[in-house]
């Protein structure tokens, strides 16, 4: 009887071992804007050949890795042992630079991460007059309208494209920085600075900026849109070209 029981246990152990060694099939990633698939693979699986049932067991136990800029993720198991990793990344509006650190903040103005890692498509914001910040708390700005203006500009730059140097280009790819001063906001692009002024009629200023910029491709200087007037038949703007450009 004992021998039979031992044989059964050995068979069960061998079967379990075989199951644990079965590799996963195709692995796909969805919702990853900030990370490459290689980075996510190393962060989540940490194995060149993840074992399918080991991964399923970890998911069942709720063992998820902590990944900066990712709110949470889930694993969806499909046919042929395939796994889809669905990421829900944190929505980032911009970052402030303090020495060697990037302080990323979300659409509410809350600092969500402090990192040495720069991310593409997240804009540097300067001139907010912030000399300290705490992760998990809102940026200590004196004017809350400034954060709303950052969000308006940031969302527009991410969404819109223009004709630039003979090809369709996302405005986010041209943007270097969003800068604030006492007289308003400036968007720094490749060779052009666009002075938008105060927060009033910001949407109209941004759409006018997108209309005008293709005409300025290849030039260097500052485009002034602070005197924008909605409904004007011929919108007024000034472009001051850099000497020698």
pLDDT the model gives residue 20: 56
pLDDT the model gives residue 4: 57
Q: Do 109 and 49 fall into the same domain?
A: no
Q: Do 113 and 189 fall into the same domain?
A: yes
Structure tokens belonging to residue 182: 């006492």
Q: Do 53 and 109 fall into the same domain?
A: no
Q: Do 71 and 157 fall into the same domain?
A: no
Q: Do 33 and 54 fall into the same domain?
A: yes
Q: Do 101 and 48 fall into the same domain?
A: no
Question: How many domains does the chain divide into?
Answer: 2
pLDDT the model gives residue 104: 92
> Which domain CATH number covers 28?
3.10.20.310
Does the pLDDT at position 15 exceed 50? no
Q: Which of 71, 89, 107 is the last residue of a domain?
A: 89
Q: Do 222 and 111 fall into the same domain?
A: yes
Beta strands in 54-183 (DSSP E): 70-77, 83-89, 92-98, 101-106, 111-115, 124-126, 161-164, 167-170, 177-181
pLDDT > 90: percent of the chain: 35
Tell me which residue range forms the domain holding 170. Answer: 92-241
Once rounded to an integer, what is the mean pLDDT over residues 161-177?
91
pLDDT the model gives residue 244: 62
Q: Do 44 and 140 fall into the same domain?
A: no
Per the document, the length of the chain is: 245
Sign of CA dihedral 36, 90, 153, 243: negative
Residue 5 forms part of a structural domain? no
Q: Do 127 and 230 fall into the same domain?
A: yes
Residue 19 forms part of a structural domain? yes
- Distance CA(94)–CA(221), nearest Å, equals 24
Residue 85 forms part of a structural domain? yes
pLDDT the model gives residue 91: 83
Q: Do 208 and 97 fall into the same domain?
A: yes
């Amino acid at each position: 009887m004992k021998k039979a029981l031992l044989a059964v246990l050995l068979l069960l152990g061998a079967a379990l071992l075989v199951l644990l060694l079965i590799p996963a099939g195709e692995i796909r990633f969805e919702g990853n804007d900030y990370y490459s698939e290689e980075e996510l693979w190393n962060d989540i699986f940490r194995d060149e050949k993840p074992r399918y049932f080991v991964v399923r067991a970890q998911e069942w136990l709720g063992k998820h890795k902590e990944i900066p800029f990712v709110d949470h993720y889930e694993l969806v198991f499909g046919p042929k042992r395939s796994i889809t990793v669905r990421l829900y990344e944190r929505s980032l509006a911009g970052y402030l630079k303090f020495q060697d650190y990037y302080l990323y903040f979300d659409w509410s103005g809350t600092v969500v991460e402090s990192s040495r890692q720069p991310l593409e498509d997240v804009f540097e914001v300067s001139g907010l007059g912030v000399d300290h910040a705490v992760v998990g708390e809102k940026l200590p700005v004196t004017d809350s309208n400034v954060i709303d203006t950052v969000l308006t500009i940031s969302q527009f730059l991410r969404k819109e494209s223009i004709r630039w140097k003979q090809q369709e280009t996302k405005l986010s790819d041209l943007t270097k920085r969003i800068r604030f001063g006492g007289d308003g906001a400036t968007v720094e692009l490749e060779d052009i600075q666009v002075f938008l002024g105060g927060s009033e009629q910001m949407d109209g200023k941004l759409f006018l900026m997108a209309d005008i910029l293709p005409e300025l491709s290849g030039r260097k200087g500052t485009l002034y849109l602070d005197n924008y007037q909605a409904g004007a038949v011929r919108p007024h703007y000034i472009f001051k070209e850099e000497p020698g450009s």
